[in-house]
């Protein structure tokens, strides 16, 4: 997803009203996605733009260098000399002004996303089955959704060097249309015999959410922290 281009701030035309319009247009699209539950793509993009804006003060020299005009060479110091015409100065000031507005804008969107994210987490509950296991190599997540379906994902235990939950991956192992305690119990029993080093975690989802853009990313985030804390 890319609602705003990576270089939207410094690309032409450099016009305050035009840039402000792009922000307002993006706001409507972000809020619509958040309302529909498509949280993760918005979070990913907003984090990117916020990171850029927070580093913006270190990029001022880079931006300025694009807008300056070579005037000549100082023979005594053998250094290049530049000049900035009024148009250049106006563009720099416009970029700085819109970057300040954009920072406030993205921080507000980010706050809204995190609130929605925390609310969604409350509907995801983990249970180790058939019993709690602290020593394991990898595992299966049994995702039981409120539409009476379940999906089984395999995962590798997040080691000490893995610090970012986004690098913690699921791989779909089985997708079942009909929820069945008996099938889940049989699966856990067979795996327990054949692969005793695996952990089994059941995730009960109490509300409907978009799978790829909401439920799976938040479940990965929550399970990553659960495993880091409880195993």
Tokens 């695996």 map to which residue? 198
Rounded to 5°, angle at Cα 32 from 106 and 167: 60
Q: Which long-range contacts (CB under 8 A, 24 or more apart) does 188-194 make?
A: 188/129, 188/130, 188/142, 191/140, 192/130
Does residue 36 contact residue 116 with C-beta atoms inside 8 Å?
no
Catalogue all structural domains in the chain, each as residue range(s) with its CATH number.
16-121 (no CATH), 124-230 (3.40.1530)
Segment 40-55, tens digit of pLDDT: 999 999 999 999 998 8
CA dihedral over 174, 177, 183, 185, signed as positive or negative: positive
Output the pTM of the full model.
0.82
CA distance 92 to 6: 18
Burial class (CB in 10 A: 0-12, 13-18, 19+), 164: exposed
The per-residue pLDDT string of the chain (231 residues; one tens digit each, 9 = 90 and over) reads 789 998 898 888 989 999 999 999 999 999 999 999 999 999 999 999 999 998 887 766 665 665 555 454 554 554 545 555 555 677 778 888 999 999 999 999 999 999 999 999 999 999 999 888 877 889 999 999 988 899 999 999 998 888 999 999 999 999 988 888 899 999 999 999 999 989 999 999 999 999 999 999 999 999 999 998 876
Q: Are strands 138-144 and 79-83 parallel, antiparallel or unpaired?
A: unpaired
């Amino acid at each position: 997803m890319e609602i705003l281009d990576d270089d939207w701030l410094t690309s032409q035309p450099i016009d305050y009203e035009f840039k402000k319009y792009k922000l307002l247009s993006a706001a409507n699209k972000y809020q619509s996605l958040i309302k529909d539950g498509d949280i993760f793509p918005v979070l990913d993009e907003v984090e990117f733009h916020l990171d850029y804006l927070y580093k913006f003060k270190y990029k001022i020299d880079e931006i300025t260098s694009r807008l300056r005009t070579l005037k000549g060479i100082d023979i005594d110091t053998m250094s290049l000399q530049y000049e900035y015409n009024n148009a250049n100065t106006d563009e720099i000031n416009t970029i700085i002004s819109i970057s300040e507005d954009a920072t406030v804008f993205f921080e507000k969107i980010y706050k809204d996303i995190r609130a929605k994210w925390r609310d969604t987490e409350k509907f995801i509950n983990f249970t180790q089955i058939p019993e709690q296991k602290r020593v394991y190599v990898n595992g299966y997540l049994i995702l039981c959704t409120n539409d009476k379906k379940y999906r089984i994902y395999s995962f590798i235990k997040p080691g000490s060097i893995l610090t970012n939950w986004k690098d913690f991956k699921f791989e779909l192992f089985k997708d079942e249309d009909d929820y069945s305690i008996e099938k889940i119990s049989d699966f856990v029993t067979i795996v327990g015999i054949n692969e005793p080093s695996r952990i089994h975690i059941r995730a009960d989802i109490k509300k409907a959410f978009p799978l790829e853009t909401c439920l799976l990313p938040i479940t990965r985030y929550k399970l990553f922290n659960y495993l880091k804390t409880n195993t």
